[in-house]
């Protein structure tokens, strides 16, 4: 490691500490204030792999996708000012979805802070609402403790992003401290299952239920509770629905699965929630996309909430019973105290709903997003890691690409970040290099981060990028059609590039897909190509709508299962 006159440089210590903490990959873009840290990536001979991105937002989304696919954090390394602020969307995305991430930003020298120096930004203050914790490193001697604490905070309890802002005089200054510091985290603790009485009360409530529903969220995946979820569901003989981010926590091909619930969830999942007499949320925060109108949610049901974050209890829905604990630990304890329920009549009712309200689409006419996704599912046997952007394609991917395995579904839930899907897929491919990774993206979102094709091509990542190109911001257009008298504003993406030619310009394989009869052939060619990324430009129908649909802010009972024939009232809330 490089030495100053008085000791090892701080930047070199930082890289060494990240490596010792188990970080394997660093995604980033260099710049002046971070130069001592970037120099350390070479000078220290670290085994960590650095991936140069083309935009800092891409770096944050890559680290996010890496963490979701592997369960382990990656590092984002950027410079000060605009380099740091360009990560904000990615940091917010990770924060909203509880994804562990370490963001290291270079910063102006300490004596220039607050003086509007070149490329200075108060990234500590700017990110405060969207990180789990943040540090401004003022002393080189503090680096080992801060790195160790940052990784612990990011990965324990309810995970999240942690920022480490490093002034340049700290990263290039001498280090004379200890490489084996003690953590100093007063007041920070991870909830343990100490209240077993709440588990006994929950078990007793199940004993009285005849129409139960298990609602499984992202927290169950984070805790590794997927096996416990399946064991509990099969022991109770109870149906299971998942949130958008909970896909994979319970096999969606399982007979007890109802698929995803909520605004664009399956009709039968929403029907089950409307008619249940008990609902237990595990690792789901009862967000607005699944609750609709909180005052009318599950009025006649016993509501139970298990979550590791006490702040989520009662925030949206006031539960009758709750337990603050890790999802896996709580479920493993609950399994000991429950038995099979009398649910045969309930399951028969739900099976009837499945037959009456199946997910469907017409193959006649032009190329449809659902057709492409459905064919991809069958060609891959559902084994792919699927990453999506936000919008219509996201909802159809959630509906038609069934997920049986944990950590195989990556999507921006709480933030709804366009541009997430492609870089997240890159991160997932770095984390799981032997697995098939497919990015299902819209033409709008893809254009926000498509410069990362350079990153994917340089590393010859065999990612399959399926651009479902309807030349629209489709979900917004759908809302304008249904609730704004078809007045389209700001949704026509006139001027889209030829995505196949664009891919070829970067060095990727570019394919066009326009006819329904060519879907299998084009997808098969893409799946067989292993020498770098493939981009499929799928020219789909422009004006198709996603159903089922529950208008924002409305109770589940207002669910629309097909195109309405009458004018709808303008909903409350965003798309």
According to the model, what pLDDT value does residue 215 have? 98
pLDDT above 60 (res 6) = no
The token duo for 535 is: 């981009």
For the chain, percent of residues with pLDDT exceeding 90: 91
The residue with tokens 């008085």 is 6
Residue 121 has phi, psi (to 5 degrees) of -145, 140
Instruction: State pLDDT tens for residues 267-323.
Output: 999 999 999 999 999 999 999 999 999 999 999 999 999 999 999 999 999 999 999
In 3D space, the residue among 385, 421, 424, 430 whose CA is nearest the CA of residue 406 turns out to be 385
361 burial (CB, 10 Å; 0-12 / 13-18 / 19+) is: middle
- Quickly count: other Cβ atoms within 10 Å of residue 193's Cβ: 16
CA–CA distances in Å: residue 136 to residues 166, 194, 405, 530: 6, 35, 39, 43
Q: In the structure, what pLDDT confidence band is assigned to residue 64 with cuts at 50, 70 and 90?
A: very high
Query: DSSP letter string over 513-542?
Result: E--GGGHHHHHHHHHH--SS-EEEEEE--S
pTM for the complete prediction?
0.96
- What does DSSP say about strands 8-9 and 174-175: parallel, antiparallel, or unpaired? antiparallel
3-class SS at 485? Answer: coil
- Quickly count: other Cβ atoms within 10 Å of residue 368's Cβ: 22
According to the model, what pLDDT value does residue 563 have? 82
According to the model, what pLDDT value does residue 25 have? 98
Residues 400-407: what's their mean pLDDT?
Answer: 98
According to the model, what pLDDT value does residue 555 have? 93
Return the biggest CA–CA distance within the chain.
79
- Quickly count: other Cβ atoms within 10 Å of residue 432's Cβ: 16
According to the model, what pLDDT value does residue 570 have? 72
Omega into 171 within 30° of 0, i.e. cis? no
The single-letter DSSP state of residue 54 is S
Instruction: State pLDDT tens for residues 501-517.
Output: 999 999 999 999 999 99
CA–CA distances in Å: residue 354 to residues 233, 281, 299, 547: 19, 22, 23, 15
pLDDT above 70 (res 328) = yes
The token duo for 34 is: 């971070």
pLDDT above 80 (res 46) = yes
According to the model, what pLDDT value does residue 193 have? 79
Instruction: State pLDDT tens for residues 200-218.
Output: 999 999 999 999 999 999 9
* Rg (the chain; Cα; Å): 24
CB-based contacts of 374-377 (< 8 A; 24+ apart in sequence): 374/400, 375/519, 375/520, 375/523, 376/401, 376/438, 376/440, 376/466, 376/523, 377/401, 377/402
Confirm if 534 and 499 have CB atoms less than 8 A apart. no
The residue with tokens 């070479």 is 42
According to the model, what pLDDT value does residue 364 have? 83
Q: In the structure, what pLDDT confidence band is assigned to residue 444 with cuts at 50, 70 and 90?
A: very high
Confirm if 106 and 85 have CB atoms less than 8 A apart. no
Instruction: State pLDDT tens for residues 95-151.
Output: 999 999 999 999 999 998 888 899 999 999 999 999 999 999 999 999 999 999 999
Q: In the structure, what pLDDT confidence band is assigned to residue 3 with cuts at 50, 70 and 90?
A: low
pLDDT above 70 (res 567) = no
The residue with tokens 């303008």 is 570
Q: In the structure, what pLDDT confidence band is assigned to residue 88 with cuts at 50, 70 and 90?
A: very high
CA–CA distances in Å: residue 545 to residues 302, 475, 537: 34, 8, 20
d(CA 508, CA 448): 18
- Report the catalytic residues: 56, 118-119, 168, 475
d(CA 323, CA 381): 37
Domains of the chain with CATH codes: 8-175 (3.40.50.970), 196-356 (3.40.50.1220), 369-547 (3.40.50.970)
The token duo for 178 is: 């200890």
d(CA 120, CA 113): 7
d(CA 561, CA 398): 16
The token duo for 459 is: 């590393």
For the chain, percent of residues with pLDDT exceeding 70: 98
pLDDT above 90 (res 573) = no
pLDDT above 80 (res 381) = yes
Residue 72 has phi, psi (to 5 degrees) of -120, 150
Question: 27 CB contacts (<8 Å, ≥6 apart)?
Answer: 50, 51, 53, 58, 59, 60, 62, 63, 66, 74, 75, 76, 77, 427
Confirm if 442 and 499 have CB atoms less than 8 A apart. no
Instruction: State pLDDT tens for residues 137-169.
Output: 999 999 999 999 999 999 999 999 999 999 999
As a whole number, the mean pLDDT across the chain is 95
According to the model, what pLDDT value does residue 4 have? 54
């Amino acid at each position: 490691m490089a030495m100053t006159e008085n000791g090892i440089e701080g930047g070199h210590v930082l890289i060494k500490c990240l490596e010792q903490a188990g970080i394997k990959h660093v995604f980033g873009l260099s710049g002046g204030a971070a130069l001592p840290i970037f120099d350390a990536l070479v000078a220290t001979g670290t085994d960590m792999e650095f991936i140069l991105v083309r935009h800092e937002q891409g770096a944050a989304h890559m680290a996010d996708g890496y963490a979701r696919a592997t369960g382990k954090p990656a590092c984002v390394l950027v410079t000060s000012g605009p380099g740091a602020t360009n990560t904000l969307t990615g940091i917010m995305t990770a924060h909203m979805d509880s994804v562990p991430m370490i963001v290291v930003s270079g910063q102006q020298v300490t004596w220039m802070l607050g003086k509007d120096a070149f490329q200075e930004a108060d990234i500590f203050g700017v990110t405060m609402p969207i990180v789990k914790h943040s540090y401004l490193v003022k002393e080189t001697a503090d680096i080992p403790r801060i790195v160790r604490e940052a990784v612990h905070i990011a990965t324990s309890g309810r995970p999240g992003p942690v920022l480490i802002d490093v002034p340049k005089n700290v990263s290039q200054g001498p280090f004379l401290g200890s490489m084996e510091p003690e953590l100093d985290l007063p007041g920070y603790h991870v909830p343990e299952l100490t209240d077993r009485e709440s588990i006994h009360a929950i078990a007793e409530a199940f004993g009285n239920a005849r129409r139960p529903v298990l609602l499984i969220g992202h927290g169950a995946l984070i805790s590794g509770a997927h096996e416990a979820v399946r064991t509990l569901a099969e022991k109770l003989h109870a149906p299971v629905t998942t949130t958008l981010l909970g896909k994979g926590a319970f096999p969606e091909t399982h007979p007890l699965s109802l698929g995803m619930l909520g605004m664009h969830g399956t009709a039968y999942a929403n029907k089950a929630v409307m008619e249940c007499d008990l609902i237990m949320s595990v690792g789901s925060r009862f967000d607005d996309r699944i609750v609709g109108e909180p005052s009318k949610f599950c009025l006649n049901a016993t509501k139970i909430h298990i979550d590791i974050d006490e702040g989520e209890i009662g925030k949206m829905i006031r539960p009758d019973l709750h337990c603050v604990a890790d999802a896996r630990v709580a479920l493993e304890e609950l399994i000991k105290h429950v038995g099979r329920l009398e649910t045969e009549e309930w399951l028969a009712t739900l099976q009837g709903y499945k037959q009456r309200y199946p997910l469907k689409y017409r193959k006649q006419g032009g190329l449809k997003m659902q057709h492409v996704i459905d064919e991809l599912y069958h060609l891959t046997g559902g084994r792919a890691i699927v990453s999506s952007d936000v919008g219509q394609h996201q909802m159809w991917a959630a509906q038609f690409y069934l997920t049986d395995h944990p950590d195989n579904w990556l999507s921006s839930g709480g933030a709804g970040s366009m541009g997430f899907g492609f870089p997240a897929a890159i991160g997932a491919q770095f984390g799981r290099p032997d697995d098939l990774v497919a990015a299902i993206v819209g033409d709008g979102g893809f254009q926000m981060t498509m410069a990362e094709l350079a990153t994917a091509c340089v590393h010859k990542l065999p990612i399959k990028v399926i651009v479902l190109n309807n030349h629209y911001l489709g979900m917004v257009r759908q809302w304008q059609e249904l609730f704004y008298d078809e007045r389209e504003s700001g949704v026509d993406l006139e001027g889209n590039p030829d995505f196949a030619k664009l891919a070829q310009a970067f060095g990727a394989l570019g394919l066009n897909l326009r006819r329904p009869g060519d879907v299998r052939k084009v997808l098969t060619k893409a799946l067989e190509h292993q020498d770098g990324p493939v981009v499929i430009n799928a020219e789909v129908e422009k004006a198709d709508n996603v159903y089922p649909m529950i208008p924002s802010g409305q109770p589940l009972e207002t669910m629309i299962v097909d195109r309405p024939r009458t004018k709808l009232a303008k909903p409350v809330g965003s798309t």
